[in-house]
């Protein structure tokens, strides 16, 4: 009870609480006391002459009080937002658990203030739980999660690259719209929605993928290697030049419970073994090639950031035998 009362009095809307209390006291003083005096001493003329002025004064107090309270609340909100953003900037790039907890605390407080556009570029999170958070139009370039639990998080319209998740659990999350280079390592992915999103050149090196939905997702030039995959639904997805493994379709078809949308993938893509593009040696590299595509498939071209730098990423970079990534500036 004491903690609730303290949070009300000292919370972000404390100015509104104190204004209501002050208004109640003023109302009692300027309305009730003259009325009691007039009743006790039969001074009817007192109420008749004073009350019009009293009500006018009370109206002015309420009007100006509401205006001042409104601007005070906005000012406190801006100050709180600036403070939390400053904390995130101070701990950006720190590879410590303390920085992880500090940044997470700031994210939670920003969400409570209805701020979902958070700049988390080059932030590191280790051994913490992300739960019930929302991100919209957030910058997350080079963000990393290590040994974390991500539950019930919404990523809306995120445009980022190097979104790394290692040794973590992802459940109940939603990745909707945007452009995301997903980098999943030895993690578990379950109960997650990917919808209307560009995931080209992503890595799904996962222990388990289950109860997930991929709808209108471009997975071209991505890398898949998982131990198990069940109850996953693929709806209108692209797998052009994806690097997989030899028994990719067998593992998807024989899973129990079954996956959905596998027949459409097998009808549109051939599973072929390719040679090393530079040495010409036969390697154990298998890719999915669109049956309607030409043999000379081009690598994807993706634009990252505002500097208009185009990063050309070929699928061969995903298997360790490749030339350095080529960057072309188009200024």
pLDDT for the residue 30: 66
Distance CA 16, CA 8 (A): 10
Query: Taking a C-beta distance cutoff of 8 angstroms, is the pair 137, 157 a contact?
Result: yes
* pLDDT for residue 215: 95
Tens digits of per-residue pLDDT, 226-263? 888 899 999 999 999 999 988 888 888 877 678 888 88
Same domain, yes or no: 28 and 112: no
Residues 41-70 have pLDDT tens digits of: 555 565 566 667 666 777 777 777 777 777
Tell me the pTM: 0.72
The residue segments making up the domain with residue 68 are 2-84
Q: If DSSP codes are grouped into helix, strand and coil, which group holds residue 16?
A: helix
330 falls within a domain = no
* In a shared domain, residues 108 and 78: no
Does one domain contain both 124 and 238?
A: yes
What is the total count of domains within the chain? 2
User: Per the domain annotation, does 315 fall within a domain?
Assistant: no
Residue 70 lies in a domain: yes
152/9 same-domain check: no
Check residue 242 and give left, alpha or beta (phi > 0: left; psi -120 to 50: alpha).
beta
Q: Give me the pLDDT at residue 329, please.
A: 38
Who wins on pLDDT, 128 or 71?
128
Mean pLDDT, rounded, for 280-284: 67
Greater confidence (292 vs 177) lies with: 177
pLDDT value of position 322: 38
With a cut of 70, say whether residue 124 has pLDDT above it: yes
- Within-domain flag for 161: yes
| Mean pLDDT (whole number) for 205-214 | 91
Contact 136, 157 (CB under 8 A): yes
Are 75 and 168 found together in one domain?
no
Same domain membership, residue 281 and residue 256 = yes
pLDDT per position as a tens digit, 156-185: 998 888 899 999 999 999 999 989 988 999
The residue with greater pLDDT, 161 or 86, is 86
Task: Tell me how far apart the alpha carbons of residues 215 and 111 are, in angstroms, rounded to a whole number.
Answer: 27
Looking at the fold, whether 199 and 74 belong to one and the same domain comes out as: no
Q: Read off the pLDDT band of 326 (50, 70, 90).
A: very low
Q: Are 259 and 252 in contact (CB under 8 A)?
A: yes
> Which of 84, 109, 141 is where one domain is finished?
84
Whether residue 48 is contained in a domain is answered as yes
The confidence score (pLDDT) of residue 302 equals 39
Q: Are residues 111 and 58 in the same domain?
A: no
Q: Give the mean model confidence (pLDDT) for residues 319-330.
A: 36
What proportion of the chain, given as a percentage, has pLDDT over 70? 71
- Note whether residue 11 is domain-resident: yes
- Whether the pLDDT of residue 135 is over 90: the answer is yes
Residue at 311 is within a domain: no
Q: What is the gyration radius of the CA atoms in the chain, in angstroms?
A: 30
H helices present in 172-327, as ranges:
248-253, 262-268
Boundary (domain end) residue, out of 62, 84, 106: 84
- The answer as to whether 122 is a domain residue is yes
């Amino acid at each position: 009870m004491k903690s609730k009362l303290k949070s009300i009095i000292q919370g972000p809307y404390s100015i509104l609480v104190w204004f209501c209390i002050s208004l109640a006291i003023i109302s009692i003083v300027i309305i009730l006391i003259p009325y009691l005096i007039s009743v006790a001493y039969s001074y009817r003329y007192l109420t008749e002459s004073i009350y019009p002025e009293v009500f006018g004064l009370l109206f002015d107090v309420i009007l100006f009080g509401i205006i001042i309270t409104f601007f005070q609340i906005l000012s406190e909100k801006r100050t709180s937002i600036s403070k939390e953003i400053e904390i995130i900037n101070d701990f950006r790039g720190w590879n410590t658990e303390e920085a992880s907890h500090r940044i997470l605390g700031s994210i939670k407080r920003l969400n409570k203030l209805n701020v979902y556009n958070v700049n988390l570029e080059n932030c590191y999170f280790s051994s913490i739980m992300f739960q019930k958070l929302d991100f919209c139009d957030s910058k997350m370039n080079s963000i990393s999660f290590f040994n974390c639990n991500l539950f019930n998080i919404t990523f809306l319209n995120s445009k980022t690259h190097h979104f790394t998740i290692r040794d973590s659990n992802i459940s109940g999350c939603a990745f909707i719209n945007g452009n995301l280079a997903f980098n999943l390592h030895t993690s578990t992915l379950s109960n997650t929605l990917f919808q209307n999103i560009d995931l080209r050149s992503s890595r799904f090196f996962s222990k388990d993928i289950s109860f997930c939905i991929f709808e209108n997702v471009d997975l071209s030039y991505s890398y898949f290697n998982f131990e198990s995959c069940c109850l996953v639904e693929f709806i209108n997805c692209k797998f052009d030049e994806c690097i997989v493994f030899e028994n990719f379709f067998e593992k998807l078809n024989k899973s129990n419970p079954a996956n959905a949308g596998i027949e459409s993938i097998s009808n549109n893509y051939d599973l072929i073994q390719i040679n090393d593009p530079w040495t010409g040696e036969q390697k154990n590299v298998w890719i999915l090639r669109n049956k309607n595509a030409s043999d000379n498939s081009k690598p994807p071209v993706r634009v990252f950031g505002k500097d208009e730098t185009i990063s050309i990423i070929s699928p061969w970079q995903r298997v360790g035998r490749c030339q350095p990534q080529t960057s072309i500036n188009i200024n």
